[in-house]
């Protein structure tokens, strides 16, 4: 969530504080909407404002597009690609598997919103195989929020192609990467309406057709413009050039839809934060731990409502409470016991077997 870039905490001197701030904003938006969903009637804020909470994930994707360009380096050799994937695997997957196992043990095959007939063995196997994006009942039923991890991993799979296209442009304005983003996005829109929905609808009763709709909303083709806007951030901020064609293509894809308009606003917000180097220690700290917080906050989202019968928790404190509990799990449990260890393991394997690959600074 992106999410792959936030898994793990690097030394403070090696981090970009403004990026961590953006991640902190993103995770608070996500916590806001899920706490609101788990505690109906608890908040006094309007539904319209809370409705922007889910876009925290799209902010993560924009950040991911930027940081992936920042960290991959100039080498597109096989060694570089294998080293890249090795580090990303150990950065994301071990904690995801641990969380998936916890949910399977605790929830079993019980039904939920994304698996109304119950979680199946196939759903579980697809999730542990990182292939949950292949099924409308698997993509978000085993691990809450797992759909965004799936999108991130799919993007990783095709990312070297984008790097190759950018490198081919050399010092000229890169056009091909943005054309590819636009083609994937528009082809996804066409495929969803004319191929996927007609093919899958007959397999689901009327009351469950929403699963197919959500499947097409949450898949990579619909989210890829977020990464495209991240590419633009990289070109403007790091390479000091304005990709005019890229900007026009991304805006042409985004602005006809409400979803795209919000993504374009998040791009502008990210640009302003990174340009001025905005800092906030609280948001930065949350951002540094946002992968764990993202995976665990679902368990805490309903606590403010459950506490009402025991102690009054003001609505203004509900989101900070959920964030604090999730941060505690990350800081004292998952970071020292899982994330840090596996990140070091991934770096060690990468350095040992792919020696020509220079290790980038963690953004």
pLDDT at 153: 93
Cβ proximity of 191 and 200 under 8 Å? no
What value, to the nearest 5°, has the Cα angle with vertex 284 and ends 278 and 290?
135
User: What is d(CA 306, CA 313) in angstroms, rounded to the nearest whole number?
Assistant: 10
In this predicted structure, the answer to whether residue 31 has a pLDDT above a threshold of 80 is yes
pTM here? 0.91
In this predicted structure, the answer to whether residue 9 has a pLDDT above a threshold of 60 is no
pLDDT tens, residue by residue, 148-166: 999 999 999 999 899 989 9
pLDDT at 37: 86
In this predicted structure, the answer to whether residue 355 has a pLDDT above a threshold of 70 is no
User: What is d(CA 344, CA 91) in angstroms, rounded to the nearest whole number?
Assistant: 9
Candidates 23, 1, 5, 8; CA nearest to 270 is 23
With 0-12 CB in 10 A as exposed, 13-18 as middle and 19+ as buried, what is 175? middle
Cβ proximity of 353 and 312 under 8 Å? no
Q: What are phi and psi of 36, to 5 degrees?
A: -65, -40
User: What is d(CA 245, CA 215) in angstroms, rounded to the nearest whole number?
Assistant: 30
User: What is d(CA 85, CA 120) in angstroms, rounded to the nearest whole number?
Assistant: 29
The percent of residues above 90 in pLDDT, for the chain, comes to 72
Compute the average pLDDT of residues 318-343: 94
In this predicted structure, the answer to whether residue 337 has a pLDDT above a threshold of 90 is yes
Which three-class secondary structure state does DSSP give residue 335?
A: helix
Cβ proximity of 196 and 212 under 8 Å? yes
Compute the average pLDDT of residues 85-91: 91
Q: How many CB atoms lie within 10 A of CB 155?
A: 22
In this predicted structure, the answer to whether residue 39 has a pLDDT above a threshold of 70 is yes
User: What is d(CA 58, CA 82) in angstroms, rounded to the nearest whole number?
Assistant: 27
User: What is d(CA 164, CA 160) in angstroms, rounded to the nearest whole number?
Assistant: 6
Compute the average pLDDT of residues 110-127: 96
pLDDT at 74: 62
The percent of residues above 70 in pLDDT, for the chain, comes to 90
pLDDT tens, residue by residue, 206-221: 999 999 999 999 999 9
Between residues 85 and 30, the one the model is more confident about:
30
In this predicted structure, the answer to whether residue 260 has a pLDDT above a threshold of 90 is yes
pLDDT at 1: 44
Which three-class secondary structure state does DSSP give residue 115?
A: strand
pLDDT at 72: 74
In this predicted structure, the answer to whether residue 95 has a pLDDT above a threshold of 50 is yes
What average pLDDT is seen over the chain?
Answer: 89
User: What is d(CA 98, CA 231) in angstroms, rounded to the nearest whole number?
Assistant: 31
With 0-12 CB in 10 A as exposed, 13-18 as middle and 19+ as buried, what is 83? buried
Between residues 194 and 37, the one the model is more confident about:
194
pLDDT tens, residue by residue, 266-287: 999 999 999 999 999 999 999 9
In this predicted structure, the answer to whether residue 8 has a pLDDT above a threshold of 50 is no
**Max CA distance (Å), the chain:** 64
User: What is d(CA 317, CA 304) in angstroms, rounded to the nearest whole number?
Assistant: 9
């Amino acid at each position: 969530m992106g999410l792959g870039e936030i898994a793990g905490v690097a030394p403070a001197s090696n981090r970009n504080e403004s990026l961590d701030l953006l991640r902190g904003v993103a995770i608070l938006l996500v916590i806001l909407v899920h706490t609101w969903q788990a505690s109906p009637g608890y908040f006094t804020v309007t539904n319209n404002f809370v409705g922007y909470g889910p876009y925290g994930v799209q902010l993560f994707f924009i950040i991911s597009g930027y940081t992936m360009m920042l960290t991959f380096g100039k080498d597109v050799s096989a060694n570089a690609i294998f080293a890249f994937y090795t580090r990303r695997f150990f950065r994301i997957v071990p904690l995801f598997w641990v969380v998936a196992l916890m949910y399977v043990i605790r929830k079993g095959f019980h039904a939920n919103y994304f698996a109304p007939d119950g979680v199946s063995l196939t759903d579980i196997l697809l999730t542990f195989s990182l292939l949950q994006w292949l099924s409308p009942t698997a993509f978000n039923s085993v691990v809450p929020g797992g759909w965004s991890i799936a999108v991130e991993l799919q993007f990783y799979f095709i990312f070297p192609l984008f790097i190759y296209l950018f490198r081919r442009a050399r010092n000229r304005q890169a056009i091909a990467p943005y054309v590819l983003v636009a083609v994937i996005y528009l082809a996804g829109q066409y495929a969803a309406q004319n191929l996927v929905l007609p093919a899958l609808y007959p397999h689901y009763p009327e009351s469950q057709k929403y699963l197919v709709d959500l499947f097409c909303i949450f898949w990579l083709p619909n989210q890829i413009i977020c990464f495209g806007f991240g590419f633009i951030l990289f070109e403007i901020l790091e390479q000091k050039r304005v990709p005019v064609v890229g900007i026009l293509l991304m805006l042409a894809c985004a602005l006809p839809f409400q979803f795209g308009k919000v993504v374009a606003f998040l791009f502008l917000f990210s640009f302003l934060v990174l340009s001025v180097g905005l800092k906030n220690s609280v948001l930065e700290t949350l951002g540094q731990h946002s992968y764990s917080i993202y995976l665990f906050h679902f368990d805490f989202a309903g606590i403010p409502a459950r506490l009402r019968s025991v102690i009054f928790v003001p609505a203004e404190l509900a989101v900070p409470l959920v964030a604090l509990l999730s941060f505690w799990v990350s800081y004292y449990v998952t970071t020292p016991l899982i994330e840090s260890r596996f990140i070091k393991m991934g770096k060690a394997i990468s350095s040992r077997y792919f020696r020509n690959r220079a290790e980038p600074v963690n953004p």
